[in-house]
């Protein structure tokens, strides 16, 4: 649903909202931080090879090295701007307006309206591997957008491509999102064009006005199938989501489902909110306690 003809919505195509990587690995443009000093992220950027130094455990993350709780009140170390559409569509910042647990800070996608795209990029440690479990807390108000609204994705090179020799527009990717007011997951080929997409839409509505725990499992190894990576799986507050709607989206319509290349290593993630159709009412998302690993992390 990244294009204008997607089911249930019309609006700008994926190319209209800010090119991938347009801010560059060294950019910080447009992302606002509120107070604090230091970093709660895992690892720093190694300018020599474009990778990330060995991840170090962070306070508040229960010893998990890839975890971000935003408690320094600023964009965590290692994150850089990925997408940043004009300020009139909202802003992405770290503030204390609604932290998970009632005190501290969280990542705030504030007052997003129109076709907003405000996200951060993080390069994963080398040899992360082909399997990713993830978890984040999310609070959304006051509306459930009909638009495709992605809040996390993870990307990886195609077989035969070295991990550090390709740009984001050459990477396959898994995404967790919402669409038509419900939770959604997608497998994408490289963007542009980013489709045909293998789309799964849940019958569970996006939760409003309370914190939820969202988990995902991206199994790029997929021992159950010797040919392809697995489809993504998601959980809401510990309950796995069902996918009664499963279809292929493409422009023009009619393309077969994409082939899901096996994963050697996930190499880069995107965090924030990126929408592909119109969001008519200013809506805010808060994201907190983001954690990644190769085994299930859970909500506790």
Global pTM reads: 0.82
Question: Which tens digit of pLDDT belongs to each residue from 219-274?
Answer: 999 999 999 999 999 999 999 999 999 999 999 999 999 999 999 999 999 999 99
Q: Please list the residues that pair with 248 across neighbouring strands.
A: 198
> Does 299 fall in a domain?
no
CATH number of the domain bearing residue 106: 2.60.120.200
At residue 86, the pLDDT reads 84
Band (pLDDT 50/70/90 cuts) for residue 155 is very high
> Does 15 fall in a domain?
no
> Does 6 fall in a domain?
no
> Does 154 fall in a domain?
yes
Distance CA 286, CA 190 (A): 28
Distance of CA 72 to the CA centre of its chain: 21
Band (pLDDT 50/70/90 cuts) for residue 2 is low
User: Which of the pair, 72 or 40, is modelled with greater confidence?
Assistant: 72
> Does 193 fall in a domain?
yes
Band (pLDDT 50/70/90 cuts) for residue 61 is low
> Does 132 fall in a domain?
yes
Does 92 have pLDDT greater than 90? yes
User: Which of the pair, 19 or 69, is modelled with greater confidence?
Assistant: 69
At residue 65, the pLDDT reads 74
> Does 195 fall in a domain?
yes
> Does 47 fall in a domain?
yes
Domain count, the chain: 1
What percent of the chain lies above the pLDDT cut of 70?
A: 79
At residue 168, the pLDDT reads 87
Range 164-171, long-range pairs (CB < 8 A, 24+ positions) = 164/49, 164/50, 164/51, 164/267, 167/21, 168/20, 168/21, 168/121, 168/268, 169/20, 169/21, 171/267, 171/268
Does 190 have pLDDT greater than 60? yes
- Mean pLDDT within 36-61: 38
User: Which of the pair, 115 or 262, is modelled with greater confidence?
Assistant: 262
- Could you tell me the residue range of the domain that residue 217 belongs to? 25-293
Does 91 have pLDDT greater than 90? yes
E strands in 206-278? 212-219, 233-236, 239-240, 245-249, 268-275
Average pLDDT value over all residues in the chain: 83
What percent of the chain lies above the pLDDT cut of 90?
A: 74
């Amino acid at each position: 649903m990244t294009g204008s003809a997607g089911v249930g919505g019309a609006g700008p195509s994926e190319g209209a909202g800010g090119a991938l990587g347009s801010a560059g690995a060294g950019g910080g443009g447009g992302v606002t931080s509120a107070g604090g000093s230091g970093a709660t992220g895992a690892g720093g950027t190694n300018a020599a090879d474009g990778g990330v130094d060995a991840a170090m455990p962070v306070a508040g993350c229960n010893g998990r090295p890839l975890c971000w709780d935003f408690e320094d009140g600023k964009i965590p170390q290692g994150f850089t701007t990925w997408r940043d559409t004009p300020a009139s569509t909202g802003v992405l910042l770290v503030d204390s307006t609604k932290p998970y647990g009632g005190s501290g800070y969280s990542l705030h996608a504030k007052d997003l309206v129109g076709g907003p795209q405000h996200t951060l990029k993080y390069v994963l440690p080398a040899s992360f591997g082909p399997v990713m479990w993830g978890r984040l807390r999310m609070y959304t108000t006051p509306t459930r957008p009909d638009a495709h609204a992605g809040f996390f994705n993870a990307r990886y090179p195609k077989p035969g491509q070295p991990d550090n020799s390709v740009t984001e527009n050459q990477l396959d990717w898994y995404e967790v999102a919402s669409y038509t007011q419900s939770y959604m997951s997608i497998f994408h080929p490289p963007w542009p064009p980013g489709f045909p997409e293998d789309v799964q839409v849940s019958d569970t509505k996006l939760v409003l006005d309370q914190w939820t725990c969202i988990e995902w499992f991206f199994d790029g190894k997929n021992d159950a199938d010797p040919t392809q990576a697995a489809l993504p799986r998601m959980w809401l507050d510990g309950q796995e989501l069902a996918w009664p709607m499963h279809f292929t989206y493409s422009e023009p319509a009619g393309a077969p489902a994409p082939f899901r290349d096996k994963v050697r290593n996930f190499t880069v993630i995107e965090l924030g909110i990126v929408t592909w159709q119109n969001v008519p009412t200013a809506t805010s998302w808060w994201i907190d306690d983001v954690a990644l690993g190769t085994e299930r992390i859970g909500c506790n």
